[in-house]
Amino acid sequence: MTDVAAREEAIGWTIRLRSAAPADWEAFTSWLEADPAHAAAYDLVTLADAEMVDAVSAIPAAPEPVAVSTDEPAVAANDNAPGFFRRYGALAAALLVCVMAYPAYRVLVPTYVVETALGETRTVTLDDGSVINLNGGTRLVLDRRNARIASLEAGEARFHVVHDPANPFAVTVGGADVVDVGTIFNITREGAQTEVSVAEGAVIFNPKREAVMLRPGDRLRVEGSGKPAVVRVDPGEVGGWTSGRLDYAAVRIGDIAPDLARALGVPVAADPAIADRAFTGTIIVDRQDRDAVGKVAALMGVSAKRTEQGWRLSGQ
């Protein structure tokens, strides 16, 4: 067990570092280096901190997880919460950890996250029979109470949804909504850029704002809160990554690099000098091949170099 003084200091750092400037982090590094007991104490506090965040997150507070405004804090609602509600929250918190062991209680925890590492793919079947394929490096939030909504926070997913006109399937991505009209479609979220492509059926992009109707072979791309643009692609290639195929028709190498990273499980960056070069062709992704990046680079007419961060595509 670490000594009390180290723990007290570690608590102080844990609190202070929430809003720390770089100089604070440097001071913190020096503190850690001063005594191995410091790092051990800080580990203990951060693990406790993570548990506390889980526990408090599961206690119902304000209905919306928005930042508290200074005049009428959301915490006021919590002060009025009846005792049974708090106990219920504690129960929900406990179940959050045990969802695997107690599936019957899953319904108490409304949203859950499905995540994949780079190079890992996963398939999720929802209660309504809709199937979502997650490409590598993807984070998707689903709702246990409502199988017809999903939120793609990062990465790429192909949605094969069971169409129900009375209750359309809706995906939130980068602040926009994508609503199906009977469909197989693919969404990628890379940084602030969203791309929606339709293989079958149709989707409406952001029905409340731009309301762009996308048909098979349409690919919509939007950067941040900019204006969406639609280009034509081969509908057969949409979501081709699910079968290890990446098809491109005059696509920037800079835009292909993140696809490769997702598929191969290694970071791939494109040198700015060649990032704007266009590539047309089909890349078959073989994760088992150790030189996969090198071969793909050769196909695109560039060279691949191993860097500390992964791979870098550059000119010859």
Partner 1 sequence: MDSSGLEKLFLEHRPALARFLRARCGADLDVEDMLQDLWLKLSDIGVDPADAQAYFYRMADNLVTDRRRSAQRRLRRDDAWNAHAIGPGEESPAPSPEREAIARSDLDRVAALFAELGERTTAIFRSYRIDGDRQDDIAAAHGISRSAVEKHLQKAYRAVLQLRDKLDAEIGEADRLTDEGAEERI
Strand ranges (E), the chain: 111-115, 122-125, 131-134, 139-143, 149-161, 170-173, 176-180, 183-190, 193-200, 203-205, 212-214, 218-223, 229-232, 245-252, 268-270, 278-284, 303-307, 310-314
- Picking from 21, 23, 52, 50, the residue whose alpha carbon sits closest to that of residue 31 is 23
What minimum distance in Å lies between the beta carbon of 226 and partner 1?
A: 14
Do residues 255 and 249 touch, judged by C-beta distance below 8 A?
no
What count of other Cβ atoms lies within 10 Å of the Cβ of residue 91? 13
Residue nearer to partner 1 on the CB measure, 57 or 146: 57
Residue nearer to partner 1 on the CB measure, 48 or 230: 48
What minimum distance in Å lies between the beta carbon of 25 and partner 1?
A: 4
Residue nearer to partner 1 on the CB measure, 7 or 148: 7
What minimum distance in Å lies between the beta carbon of 9 and partner 1?
A: 11
What minimum distance in Å lies between the beta carbon of 103 and partner 1?
A: 13
What minimum distance in Å lies between the beta carbon of 229 and partner 1?
A: 19
Residue nearer to partner 1 on the CB measure, 41 or 220: 41
Per DSSP, the three-state class of 305 is strand
Residue nearer to partner 1 on the CB measure, 53 or 278: 53
- Picking from 211, 141, 200, 191, the residue whose alpha carbon sits closest to that of residue 171 is 141
CA dist., res. 56 & res. 104, Å (int): 22
Per DSSP, the three-state class of 92 is helix
What minimum distance in Å lies between the beta carbon of 30 and partner 1?
A: 8
Residue nearer to partner 1 on the CB measure, 66 or 104: 66
Matching residue, tokens 């406990």: 94
Matching residue, tokens 């508290």: 68
What minimum distance in Å lies between the beta carbon of 53 and partner 1?
A: 6
What minimum distance in Å lies between the beta carbon of 58 and partner 1?
A: 7
CA dist., res. 258 & res. 69, Å (int): 38
Phi, psi dihedral angles at 26 (to 5 degrees): -65, -40
Residue nearer to partner 1 on the CB measure, 165 or 308: 308
Output DSSP code: residue 59.
S
What minimum distance in Å lies between the beta carbon of 37 and partner 1?
A: 11
What's the Cα-to-Cα distance from 78 to each of 53, 89, 146, rounded to whole Å?
Answer: 16, 11, 26
Amino acid at 111: T
Measured in residues, the chain has a length of 316
Output DSSP code: residue 108.
G
Residue nearer to partner 1 on the CB measure, 160 or 262: 262
Residue nearer to partner 1 on the CB measure, 89 or 168: 89
